[in-house]
Amino acid sequence: MQKRKLGKSGLEVSALGLGCMGMSIAYGIPPDKKDMIDLIRKAVKRGVTFFDTAEVYGANEELVGEALAPFRGKVAIATKFGIKLGPDGKQFQDSRTDGIRQSLEGSLKRLRVDAIDLYYQHRVDTNVPIEEVAGTVKDLIREGKVKYFGLSEPGVKTIRRAHAVQPVTAIQSEYSLWWRRPEEELLQTLEELGIGLVPFSPLGKGFLTGKIDERTEFVKTDFRNIVPRFTPEARKANQALVDLLKKIAERKKATPAQIALAWLLAQKPWIVPIPGTTKLSRLDENIGAVNIQLTPDDLREIESVASKIMIQGERYPEALEKRTGL
């Protein structure tokens, strides 16, 4: 497995990380916990050293903590604060200093670690100045409880304000061939400031694998049922992007998912995607993307065709999209 550095921070991780959220929530009935622990450990044996979770992902931190307990010091765990679950099961934001410290102590315990490798603010909290948030994390770094600071889906002005108080190591943002908003301002800002990018949903929540079409039915508890981009009409319209990936994949003797990931890796050397999966075959497929070299001609062809495809459907329901800073 190749390694990459997240910006100029010195945090070096595997070129491809593993998003662990789907092992506990969001995509239907969660798989067996023991199977997921086994999958995470097999990922480590295959060279993956970067694992992503969050406080709000139910029991996911406990799962990740148990799975990675034998590999302390050999892997980097990223988790997130700032979104919590209330007694009613509804999410609420809390990035106050006391709230962050409370979240941190819980995460340390669940992850079975003495320090969080990369600690992200999960979403910008409009009720708390970002300077205050960055200052709190700066204190936690001084105390040895956090190693690196990150932000998830902030706007570029927020990044600059936070970075001025405590250097930001990584920004987590959705980025893929079907969500390219980061190219408008974000990538340029990160390059200027020396900050890494960790794209989540790099496979479009599974759509870019080519295994989903307008006839695919999701179980009732699958998050994609409420995503506008996953209506049957939108899936049918967006199939053109998958067709492009399939064409390149056939030529490269690869899969559409591998081409989608290889495209992301080719954009910048400080980009580390974190595709999630619950299947060993998919894990191996994703890891294989690291060894696929897209030539300048390949990249030009992808750009030429993709630029003519109008992606249909919003990526989130309106209420959730409002929480992002992009």
The encoded tokens of residue 134 equal: 């960055």
Contact between 284 and 46 under an 8 Å Cβ cutoff? The reply is: yes
Strands 91-93 and 83-85 come out as antiparallel
CA distances 6 to 76, 191, 198, 236, Å, are 12, 11, 8, 36
The answer to whether residue 119 is catalytic is no
Q: Which of 57, 119, 120, 175 is catalytic?
A: 57
Among left, alpha and beta (phi > 0; psi -120 to 50; other), residue 26 is left
Category of 219 on φ-ψ map: left (φ > 0), alpha (ψ -120 to 50) or beta: beta
Tokens of 39: 């999958």
Q: List, in sequence order, the alpha helices (H) in the chain.
A: 33-45, 60-68, 97-111, 130-142, 156-165, 186-193, 232-252, 256-267, 280-288, 296-306, 318-321
Residue tagged 């670690």 (tokens): 113
- First-to-last alpha carbon distance for the chain, in angstroms, is 32
Judged on CB neighbours under 10 Å (0-12, 13-18, 19+), 269 is exposed
Q: Are 214 and 233 in contact (CB under 8 A)?
A: yes
Q: Looking at the annotation, which residues are catalytic?
A: 57
